[in-house]
Amino acid sequence: MSTERKVALVAGANGVIGRNLVDHLVSLGDWEVIGLSRRGGADRGRVRHLAVDLLDPADARDKLGGLTDVTHVFYAAYQDKPTWAELVAPNVGMLVNLVDAIEPVARGLRHISLMQGYKVYGAHLGPFKTPAREDDAGHLPPEFNVDQQNFLEQRQQGKAWTWSALRPSVVCGFALGNPMNLATVIAVYASISKELGVPLRFPGKPGAYTSLLEMTDAGLLAKATVWAATDERCGNQAFNINNGDLFRWSELWPKLARWFDLEVAPPLQMSLETVMADKEPLWNSMRERYGLEPSFGEVSSWRFGDFVFGWDYDVIADGSKARRFGFHEFVDTEEMFLSIFDELRKRKVIP
């Protein structure tokens, strides 16, 4: 174990990616962790939280200006917006404001880790070249992930620190109030279907039911993120990070339904955002009946569910570069979903 002091600054510490990353860093035993988020959090052990508005350069400088011991920045913050173009300014701006605030004061800064995704390859726009590889050609903007990496590449020139970019598929793990949380979407959709006595129908486009997909477990991603940030071979590199297996909803969906003791029926394309618009009273009655914790607003990532279930084309990337560089972890995607459902039930998120 290294004896050098390691202090991690995790931006987006309350999201599904950041929360799992913080937990993994703590489990390693030799990290001090500072979590950044808009609403802050409760300090514990080696973890302390700061509430900061990274959209505000002055607030970022004020809150981060004293963090002189930071050695590694893990950037997983995200600001959701209605359109792809609108995502660029806030998401690039937050990263710039963070680096502008921390780089001048953290003299021992060694690495900045950037969380990206398959949008770099145009996966959100329609059918794209698969399996996507890290050196694939770019596409027309706007795309904030690309702009963020360009910023880091330019900022790093002549500096002692390095950067890495992690490109997961859909990230699944436990976190509430997250706009991109597919496991919770499925779990709450299934719970409501069961409450209403209807089978669990796949709600996406017909072609999406048989397309080839992959997922990224949040715990696996946390391990890969720390690996890339601390292995010198990974400096100034991008890596696709996925579970290592492929699936089709047509095979996985009935297995997920079985966990909820639900029958399946043929897929029926429908917007979850639309059909769930009137379900808050039902959810409130379920909260009272089953002693559930979260409000409907905390579990309803319906727009993201519609987005993922609309992929009527293959969404896969080649993860072999990470393996060639030394990362060999993998996760069974079916087991991942069932484990998350177990956790959601244990934490009284679902009945």
- pLDDT digit string, tens, across residues 20-43: 999 999 999 999 999 999 999 999
Q: Is residue 323 part of a domain?
A: no
Q: Is the pLDDT of residue 347 over 50?
A: yes
**pLDDT for position 3:** 64
Query: Do 45 and 135 reside in the same domain of the chain?
Result: yes
Q: What is the DSSP string of 250-261?
A: HHHHHHHHHHTT
Q: The tokens of 134 are what? A: 């890290």
CA 16 – CA 180 distance, rounded (Å): 8
Query: Do 229 and 81 reside in the same domain of the chain?
Result: yes
Query: Do 59 and 17 reside in the same domain of the chain?
Result: yes
- What SS3 class is residue 114? strand
Query: Do 82 and 116 reside in the same domain of the chain?
Result: yes
Query: Do 157 and 183 reside in the same domain of the chain?
Result: no
Mean pLDDT of 329-344: 97
Of the candidates 22, 328, 330, 42, the residue with the CA atom closest to the CA atom of residue 174: 22
CATH code assigned at 98: 3.40.50.720
CA 323 – CA 318 distance, rounded (Å): 10
**pLDDT for position 175:** 75
Count CA atoms closer than 13 A to 150's CA, side-chain side. 12
**pLDDT for position 1:** 43
Mean pLDDT of 154-176: 95
Q: Is residue 234 part of a domain?
A: yes
Query: Which domain covers residue 252, as residue numbers?
Result: 174-214+246-316+328-345
Q: Is residue 351 part of a domain?
A: no
Which residue would you say has higher pLDDT here, 181 or 255?
255
Looking at the structure of the chain, the number of domains it has is 2
Query: Do 84 and 231 reside in the same domain of the chain?
Result: yes
Query: Do 134 and 233 reside in the same domain of the chain?
Result: yes
Query: Do 237 and 337 reside in the same domain of the chain?
Result: no
Query: Do 115 and 164 reside in the same domain of the chain?
Result: yes
Query: Environment class of residue 278 by beta-carbon count within 10 Å: exposed (0-12), middle (13-18) or buried (19+)?
Result: exposed
Q: The tokens of 258 are what? A: 């079985």
CB 251, CB 162: distance < 8 Å: no
Q: Is residue 1 part of a domain?
A: no
Mean pLDDT of 81-99: 97
Q: Is the pLDDT of residue 248 over 90?
A: yes
**pLDDT for position 180:** 76
Query: Do 103 and 120 reside in the same domain of the chain?
Result: yes
Query: Environment class of residue 61 by beta-carbon count within 10 Å: exposed (0-12), middle (13-18) or buried (19+)?
Result: middle
pTM of the predicted model, to two decimals?
Answer: 0.96
Query: Do 119 and 190 reside in the same domain of the chain?
Result: no
Query: Do 199 and 189 reside in the same domain of the chain?
Result: yes
Q: Kindly report the CA angle at 302 between 203 and 205, in degrees rounded to 5?
A: 25
Please, what is the average pLDDT of the chain?
96
Of the candidates 191, 173, 117, 179, the residue with the CA atom closest to the CA atom of residue 337: 173
Q: Is residue 181 part of a domain?
A: yes
CA 178 – CA 176 distance, rounded (Å): 5
